[in-house]
Structure 1
Amino acid sequence: MIRRIIEIDEERCTGCGLCAKACHEGAIAMENGKAKLAREHFCDGLGDCLPACPADAIRFVEREAPAYDEAAVQAAKAAQYPAGGCPGAQAMRFTPSAAPAQDGAASALQNWPVQIRLLSTSAPYLQGADLVIAADCTAFSCAQFHSRYLAGRIAMIGCPKLDAVDYSEKLTELFRRNDIRSVLVVRMQVPCCGGLTYAVETALAASGRDIPLRVVILTPSGEEVA
């Protein structure tokens, strides 16, 4: 798939190792005195390593690369810290009641990460899941988003206008690899959000899976469009 990933300029690299320390996912390793992107599927494309590099040897590129594999990252951390000493080694699915309640309403979120670009297509909580694939803005426009659309579902969010990726490629792989029970798309009443629906419909067709799909369109005030 085409996605954003880091690129390290070996000639500029001074071998200080600061980028490897800054990479919480363990994607960067030091080899022969130089920093290397040793595990492409560990790179989340967020770039914590960029500001750590004093030589300006790291930049973002858009290229063919394996999808970010959150499950593999957490497994590697768990193996490195078997006693649970690494905060990132805990399970990435949690019960809604574990999230703090605010104004009497508990969070219904069950998984992390939630960004389409970051979520692993092999995450164990996808098996037998009901998905909600939502545009970024929907949860801000709808005060009842958690209770109305998220409860009991695994969340995936994205913005087809701002994310420079084709969601349909990753979603096709996700639908093929997992026993998804249903898909709910929640999008805004703006033209660019149509790209989210299109990506899901394209992925469902390409996967060959017969998965029930429902699309909800929201106004900026959070009301469903009839």
Structure 2
Amino acid sequence: MRKKIIKINEDTCLGCGLCAEACHQSAIELVDGVAVVMHESICDGMGNCLPVCPVGAISFSEEEINNLENPTENTCPSAKVSELDTTVQNQQNLISALTQWPVQIKLVPIKAPFFDKAHLLIAADCTAYSYANFHTEFMRNKVTIIGCPKLDDGEYTDKLTQIIINNNLKSVTIIRMQVPCCRGIERATVSALQNSGKFIPWQIVVISTNGEIIEN
């Protein structure tokens, strides 16, 4: 099996850290002022770090991975295959807690009546599928917008900054999965809050892949 392997030329690297911020897998970190690939196995090879490097210090090459018995060992956590031991209990006819449309970050306007005095929930796409009581515990009495920092084109910071600036929000709740690529939605929201210049109460909730709250 062939896999794209990232290479960083430490002699060329300026230590600006843009590649580490662009990496949704958190595979790159700054060490002593130089970008270093700390977690090569979770690099997804998508190359989000390539266009942001101002000096062209990053490259990719394809190499043969001799791990045919368990090919998912070299897969990033967000795509790692697993089966979950769950049993559906106490099925009920629940009512959706969604209060507005659209819900995708890419589609919502930067200013809308439903944002006025709203408690804003910014959630990664997978969280609602992973956490069974998502509507009742997190969406109730909130305006919900969602996105996937790994699969969506572009970055959310600018859009979220404009939403926060142009509306009178009461609070912001960020919900993401525990996988590294999902940190992108947290970073974008925190940056947007800082860029807005507003003081708005906010919190982060992290959901595990087996549907449990691991950070609140």
State whether TM-score is above 0.5. yes
Distance 1:113 1:165 in 2: 19
1:114 corresponds to which residue? 103
Q: Does 1:140 align with 2:124?
A: no
Deviation (angstroms), 1:222:
1.4
Higher RCO by CA contacts (8 Å cutoff, separation 6 or greater): 2
What secondary structure is seen at the aligned counterpart in 2 of 1:225? strand
2:182 corresponds to which residue? 193
Amino acid of the structure 2 residue aligned with 1:219:
S
What secondary structure is seen at the aligned counterpart in 1 of 2:149? coil
User: Where do residues 42-121 of structure 1 align in structure 2 (5 Å cutoff)?
Assistant: 103-121=92-110
% identity of equivalent residues: 46
Distance 1:213 1:193 in 2: 18
Distance 1:136 1:105 in 2: 20
For each residue in 1:36-58, what CA deviation from the matched residue of structure 2 results, as whole angstroms up to 9, or x when unmatched?
xxxxxxxxxxxxxxxxxxxxxxx
Distance 2:193 2:130 in 1: 27
Distance 2:154 2:142 in 1: 24
Aligned residues: 125
> What is the TM-score when the length of structure 1 is the normalising length?
0.54
RMSD: 1.1
Q: Does 1:131 align with 2:120?
A: yes
What secondary structure is seen at the aligned counterpart in 1 of 2:99? coil
Q: Does 1:212 align with 2:201?
A: yes
Deviation (angstroms), 1:221:
1.9
| Structure 2: unaligned runs, 5 residues or longer | 1-90
Amino acid of the structure 2 residue aligned with 1:218:
I
> What is the TM-score when the length of structure 2 is the normalising length?
0.57
For each residue in 1:72-127, what CA deviation from the matched residue of structure 2 results, as whole angstroms up to 9, or x when unmatched?
xxxxxxxxxxxxxxxxxxxxxxxxxxxxxx83211100010000000011111101
Distance 1:221 1:131 in 2: 25
Distance 2:157 2:198 in 1: 14
User: Where do residues 137-176 of structure 1 align in structure 2 (5 Å cutoff)?
Assistant: 137-176=126-165
Distance 1:111 1:143 in 2: 21
| Structure 1: unaligned runs, 5 residues or longer | 1-101
What secondary structure is seen at the aligned counterpart in 1 of 2:123? strand
Distance 1:123 1:222 in 2: 32
Runs of 4 or more, structure 1, over 3 Å off, are none
